[in-house]
Each structure stands twice: as C-alpha cells, then as structure tokens.
Amino acid sequence: MKIVLGPASTALAEKIAELTGYEKVPVGSKTFPDGESYIRLEGNVQNEHVAIVQTTCAPQDSRLMQLAFMAAAAKRNKARKVTAIVPYLAYARQDKIFLQGEGISIETVAHMLKAAGVDALITVNIHAENALSNFPFPAITLSAISLLAEYFVQKGCKEAFALAPDKGAMYIAEQAQSVLQGEAGHLEKQRDRYTGQTSQTGKGLNVKGKSVIIFDDIISTGGTIVGAAKILREQGAAHVYAACVHGLLIGDAEKRILDAGVEEIVSTDSVPSHASKVSLAPLIAKALKAQKSG
Ligand code: R5P
C-alpha cells in the first residue's frame, strides 16, 4: 500500500505514512487564476493499493474535486485499488430528505467519487453512520471519541461528566464515558428546518460542582456548544470543556465558545486548526494495517 499525501491533509498523511511504514506519494497541486484545481501524483502507483488522505472541510467543493482528480489520476496510472481516507466528509449532514424537493447530498458525493475511481472509503465519525449503507462502494467510519476522552484523562479530568448536546449524540457521550469512567447525559435540541435555528433544554442533569465535557461530532458556528455551556453554567457546573472530532470553527465560533465560559476546545486534526490537539493518525494507521492484513 502507498499513502497519497492529499493537499488538504498533508501533515496527517505524513504521520499515517510514518506509523504504517508505507511509502508516500507526494502530490503537486495548484489553483488556476479562474479557481480551477490542478493535481499531479508525483510517484509511481502502478499495481498499488493507494490510500489517498484528503479531508473535505472548507473549501469543500474544491477539496472534493482534488480528491476526485487524485483518484482518477491513480486509476489512469494503473493503481490496482483506491481507498479514499476522508477524515472529515463534507455534506454528510444532508443524509436524508428533510424537506420536499431536496436531494441526499452525501449520496451524490459518494457516486461522484465512485465515478472518479474510488473503490472504498474510510471516514471518521460521520454524522450518521447509516448514510454509508447507500454508498456505491464499501465505506466505514472510525470513531475518535476514545482518543478525545483520553486527552482529557491525561489532563486530569478523569471521571468528568460526558455531555451530548442532543440525544442523537448520546452514543458519543457514552463512548467518552467508557474512557472517563464518570457519568453521561444529554440535552434536548430542537431545530427549525426552514431557518436552521436551534434551541436546547436540559432537564434532570446532575452537573452541579462537576467538570463537564461537551462531546459532539462537529463544531461549526459554535451555537450548539454556546447554548449547552449556558445551560451547564445555570445548573452549576464547575468547569466546562468542549470536544469534537471535526472542529470547523466557522468565523468567530472559537471566541463565542470561550466567551460562553468554556475553558478549552479540543478537536482532532480532521480539520487542522490550533484546537487540533488530538491526531487521527494512530486510529487511521491501525485501520489501514487491519485492512491490509484482513
Ligand atoms: C448537528 O447535529 C451536529 O452534530 C452538530 O451539533 C452541529 O453541526 C454543530 O453546529 P454548530 O456548531 O453550528 O451549532
């Protein structure tokens, strides 16, 4: 197997190559003056199973095109198999029809990648795992929650309360709880499908005087975490932290979260930022090794 260093995830791909010992394939890339993407594989992929590491956070569309171009270039240069390693998979939140007239964006993305040459896909904490069942190739999602929880154990937060900001994320809080060995619970979140506005409530939580870590798959505008932090403060939590797999941290999200009393924001390097304190490299390297021996 060879690791293709996608331009959106070069540092992560380098770490994966180091941990697996697999050869690296550098990628030349540029953006033309009109905004079009160019890529070139700078290594031999003939008869190889290649793992292309490329996240698809903003600018999503050009990163998806780069991924498609790398897959197509690999196949054109006679790669035997192409596995896309997409730590953050864009469009995964549009995984069903919410309002009449919509499409299922994530399925369209998967079909585009298949057409380009992708044979299999590995992602991390996709928003809803069932989206993968309609992909036109084998696709799996890994979970980085234990790694995030381990970060907090190392920081001295063992037995902290793991809070999910909505019921759908409770499985995330439970995964964290199994590492932290404390309690877990969730808030209730409602979303207006037309305006996108959300509201949260928290009943029956016992967080008074406790350290609480809010775990979510994504932090985008920060609104969910700000709302959760407000409830936790009202209910007397002593310390509030926020952890997510994909720290999109749009605009002033980080400032808003810290202003809401959150002491630290921790994310993985699926979306590189200075909150990326936990690397996905060991998780992905292990999955690639298992795939090779499996
Ligand atoms: C949605 O259900 C996701 O799990 C996240 O809670 C959401 O994407 C976070 O978005 P924001 O940071 O804009 O509130």
Q: How far does the centroid of ligand 1 lie from the alpha carbon of residue 165, in Å?
A: 9
pLDDT at 291: 81
pTM of the model: 0.94
pLDDT at 14: 98
Please state, in angstroms and rounded to a whole number, the distance separating the CA atoms of residues 78 and 76: 5
| 174-188: average pLDDT | 97
Beta-carbon neighbour count of residue 160 at 10 Å? 25
Residue nearest atom 5 in ligand 1 by C-alpha distance: 218
pLDDT at 82: 98
Q: Kindly compute the dihedral angle of the four CA atoms of residues 71, 72, 75, 80, in this order, to the nearest 10 degrees.
A: 20
Rounded to 5°, angle at Cα 210 from 188 and 275: 75
Q: What pLDDT, in 10s, does the model give residues 202-232?
A: 888 899 999 999 999 999 999 999 999 999 9
pLDDT at 193 over 90: no
Q: How far does the centroid of ligand 1 lie from the alpha carbon of residue 220, in Å?
A: 6
Q: What pLDDT, in 10s, does the model give residues 240-291?
A: 999 999 999 999 999 999 999 999 999 999 999 999 999 999 999 999 999 8
In percent, the amount of the chain with pLDDT more than 70 equals 99
- Residue 272 Cβ contacting ligand 1 at under 6 Å: no
pLDDT at 88: 98
Query: In sequence order, what are the beta bridge partners of 201?
Result: 188
pLDDT at 8: 98
- Mean pLDDT for the chain overall: 96
| H or E, element range at 10 | helix 10-20
CA of 220, closest atom in ligand 1: 12
Burial of 73 (0-12, 13-18, 19+ CB in 10 A): buried
Burial of 46 (0-12, 13-18, 19+ CB in 10 A): exposed
